[in-house]
Structure 1
Amino acid sequence: MCCLDDCCCCCAGCYDSFCDRCCPCVSYDARETIFGCCVCLLLLGAAALLAVLLAAYGFIRHPEVAVEAASLTRFALLTSPATALAYNLSLTLTVRNRNWAMSVKNTKPLEAAFKFDDQAFDRFELAGEGDRHPPGKTRVYHLAAGADKFAALGNAGEAEFRKENATGLFEVEVALAGEVRYTAHFTKCKLAATCPLKLQLAPPGTPAVVFQKVKCKLAKADKNC
């Protein structure tokens, strides 16, 4: 039945003689117009839903990584008994999921490394495997470390240290590395970013050095990411 409570409601298949009995007050042309409008509305609704789903899950927006603050109060080169860097370094690192519908799941631990002259001298785990980053949210990581760490700088690296030590301005890099998967996507995507920092040495007891926010550079995404 296409008619409920003696109302004139015609749907697909209610044509000709049945519609004439069911809806005698509505002309054939009017019934065709109503049916056509209903079909158009259904098609428009389906197209709108498809567009929303495509916008939400079809295109990946990779995270935005930045160093919001950083402070270096010690940075010295030790050469005995082995080459090492003695340092006190603290910074605030942010990772923002720019997708408004997709969460990000770590398929490998998310790690950050401190580097000088392209040599890593410390490493941190920011988030473990399986950790989820909700859509639109920003994660804040505070990294603070001070130690004497072995560093295989080599002759070139030691020469670079002495050059920068003369100015008190050190070029330190923060490297982010991990692997993630986005909601509704099966491909695992590499997540890598580099944050080049120029840090003015501010020994304890001296005025704090103003730090300007640094936006990190993401590595080129894999083909399917």
Structure 2
Amino acid sequence: MGAWDDCCDDCCYSWKDFWWCVLCLAIFFVVAIIVILVVAFGFIRHIDITVDDASLTRLALVNTTITAFAYNLTLTLTIRNPNWAMNMMNTKPLEAAYNFDGQQFDRVRLADEGDKHPAGKTRVYRLTSGSDSAFVSLGNAGVAEFKKENATGTFEVEVALTGEVKYTARVTKCKIEATCPLKLQLASSGEAPAALVFQKVKCKLAKPEKNC
């Protein structure tokens, strides 16, 4: 701060050094702007994804020549962009896949390509999906796992998110890959889903690529 004080003193007490003071001020503001830009756009803070609520009112194995699920699943999924200056734009659709015992049985789209997520904002996605015969390649091991979980009334369903985004002022496109392991208690006949307690789940992000 000594050089800055000397500059201010010269400016205050000697008009002949006026332009020197102007140069000092200009350098100070340029450095401040560079620091702000580096902080704002130099580093990416990765998104936060959580499943705030979920309910399963039906999950049954359909007796067909191939294994399939009859199911009804609703969930509330939130995505927060913690960057205070950088918007996110989807360069690929953002999708969520539902998996049981490592096998996908459905996939839903959350946002389309070109969709923007403003800086510092949280978006809430309320998903309701179901099917009378959603194909799932379980095999004997998967069927055995289903029967085991069906006996307890609690099913382990994984929600896997995939997408790709580009941040403001950055050329690199960054993949979004996250997994949200859910333990869902099947609502019994006549029981309201709201009566079942769901513990909020923080989704795990895959390790980002080098430039992301």
Q: State TM-score, norm by structure 1.
A: 0.83
Residues 1:211 and 2:195 aligned together = no
AA paired with 1:224? N
1:174 maps to 159
Counterparts of 1:30-45 in structure 2, within 5 Å, are: 30-31=14-15, 34-45=18-29
**Which stretch has the larger CA shift, 188-197 or 81-90?**
81-90
Return the letter of the residue paired with 1:218: L
1:8 match: none
Alignment-derived partner of residue 223 in structure 1: 210
* Residue aligning to 1:125: 109
Once the two structures are superposed, what CA deviation does each residue of 1:7-61 show, in whole Å capped at 9, x if it has no partner?
xxxxxxxxxxxxxxxxxxx9xx834665544333222211111111111111111
In the alignment, is residue 185 of structure 1 matched against residue 170 of structure 2? yes
Shift of 1:80: 2.0
Partners of 2:92 and 2:130 in 1: CA distance: 26
Query: CA RMSD, aligned part only?
Result: 1.7
CA spacing shift, 1:204–1:38, aligned 2, 3 Å: farther
2-structure distance, mates of 1:153, 1:32: 85
The match for 2:149 among 161, 164, 174 is 164
- What's the counterpart of residue 7 of structure 2? none
Structure 1 residue 48 and structure 2 residue 38: aligned?
Answer: no
Q: In 2, Cα distance between the equivalents of 1:132 and 1:43?
A: 36
Which is greater in Rg?
1
Question: Do structure 1's residue 90 and structure 2's residue 74 form an aligned pair?
Answer: yes
Whether 1:155 aligns to 2:145 is no
| Unmatched 5+ stretches in structure 1 | 1-25
Q: Which moved more, 1:29-38 or 1:168-177?
A: 29-38
**How many angstroms apart in 2 are the aligned matches of 1:210 and 1:152?**
30
The one-letter code sitting in structure 2 at the alignment partner of 1:75 is L
Deviations 1:136-161 (A, max 9, x none): 11111111112121110111111111
Deviation at 1:203, TM superposition (A): 2.6
Which AA in structure 2 matches 1:108? K
2:97 is paired with a residue of what secondary structure? strand
- Structure 2 residue matching 1:61: 3-state secondary structure: coil
Which stretches of structure 1, 4 residues or more, deviate above 6 A after TM superposition? none
Distance 2:116 2:129 in 1: 26
Distance in structure 1 (CA, Å) of the matches to 2:170 and 2:135:
41
Identity of aligned residues (%): 62
Counterpart-to-counterpart distance in 2, 1:145 and 1:126: 12
CA distance in 1, matches of 2:204, 2:30: 39
Q: Return the alpha-carbon distance in structure 1 between the equivalents of residues 203 and 102 of structure 2.
A: 16
Amino acid of the structure 2 residue aligned with 1:193: A
Aligned to 1:113: 97
Aligned to 2:52: 68
Q: How far does residue 86 in structure 1 lie from its aligned partner after superposition?
A: 1.4
For residues 210 and 27 of structure 2, what CA distance do their matches in structure 1 show?
Answer: 33
* TM-score normalised by the chain length of structure 2: 0.88
Aligned residues: 198
